[in-house]
A and B are shown apart, each in its own frame.
Chain A
Amino acid sequence: MMPTSAIQDLHELYDYLDAAIQLEHATLPPYLVALYSVHPGTNPDAVQILRVVAVEEMLHLTIAANVLNAVGGKPDLNAPGFVPAYPTHLPSGETDFEVGTGAFTPAALETFLKIERPGMSGRGARQLIAKARNRSGSFLGRHPRDSGWSYYSIGDFYNAIRDGLRTLEEEARKSGGTIFTGEPSRQVTSEYYYSGGGKLRAVTDLDSALAALELVIEQGEGEDHGIWSGDGELSHYYRFQQLQLGRYYEPGDMEPGRPTGAEIKIDWDAVYPVKPNIKLSDFPPKSELLGVAKAFNDAYRRFLDLLTQSYNGRPELLLEAVPFMFSFRNMVNELIRNPLPGGGNAAPTFEV
């Protein structure tokens, strides 16, 4: 029997939102490794686009945390298994792709497009697609109560959350209550974090929750699956598509797949040959390089710690998390430029 996508109770909603936070985070390592695998000074267009998307994933992560906080949940980025072991599955109807860490290659770009692909929402329960088998390692975007089911796209997954919020809030109101019982001081707003696209607003009620999630969907896959989001930003899917098509979209371009802006050239050779899905066990034992890889994982754990604290009542700590991110960028670069004895270059392993 096909489970309904409607979220049944508050605990199920928490599960979904936990999964959302996990999902947003899980895309970061692949984007970051690809970003820093590019030789410095080359491929400015690809670098720029990867950077934007990564920055916006951070925004989405924060939005998901805000929604979870608004309904009285507790974001935890330090929970065991929070960081996936790459390669891993993301939401996908037929388990048709896995996401991993590695160099910026045409195949990686293909995967990124799949991550951000427009959903099939609006077709009722069909947004839930049966998977033949949910292989181990795949937990993202799945129906949290039934590992045999999964959403076709990230957008579909978020739409399920939006439906759930509506239903649960409606029920709560019937008995004079609300599900939005979270402490407003736990909300992270633009004062503490802003990036190019999208304002970070406090989530305090149904409308603000729906609007916040809509922004996430639009930045990922566009408004109504169009090229542009409501506030005129290009969605991630189409940003990546520009790299594939070799041309920028310009304001005014409405037809997907037919950008008319400036040309983009990619030099696929100007990329360090990072070993895909690298693990600490791939490093020479006791080597200096292994030390750096471990130091990175320590730093990354502290970063997740800082995020967890920021999302649990200390939003001002997000200001500290930012310099942190900048400093481990230098470590990532250092790893990626070092060849491994067995071939391929090193990279962070994200085994925290």
Chain B
Amino acid sequence: MSYTIKINGTPRTVDVDGDTPLLWVLRDVLDMKGPKFGCGLGLCGCCTVHIDGNPTRACITPVKAVGERPVLTIEGVGDTETGKKVQEAWLALDVMQCGYCQAGQIMSATALLNEKPRPTDADIDAAMSGNICRCATYTRIRAAIKQAAGLDTKDSRDI
């Protein structure tokens, strides 16, 4: 069946079963490899995209459920003001180890900052705990979110 979805501002038409997860439409039909497959059950956050501004796990979102709502992916997030700041902070603080989860981390962080431009450490815990980093770069993810927000990067939990 044919579905037209608006991705990073551009309408794209795909011919797939309606229950195909958005992740696989993006990756294997539209050749957008940024969103990653990590678990297939919405547990790790590697596949996070924004749908209508909300961070959403693309691996458990059937394409038929997207409808008219705009989809923003890691490939397009740098064109937004917040997303650009987040990407720059990630590079400035050299957040990455393997980097596999970081597209999802950046999408979740961008959504957090759009909602709360000056997040506390508790806000960061709440917003980011759906995204696993197997390399455990959490220290730098936390600092990079604050840097993108223009805040002091110090960890308020430190003793």
**Chain A bound to chain B:** no
**A contacts, CB < 8 Å to B:** none
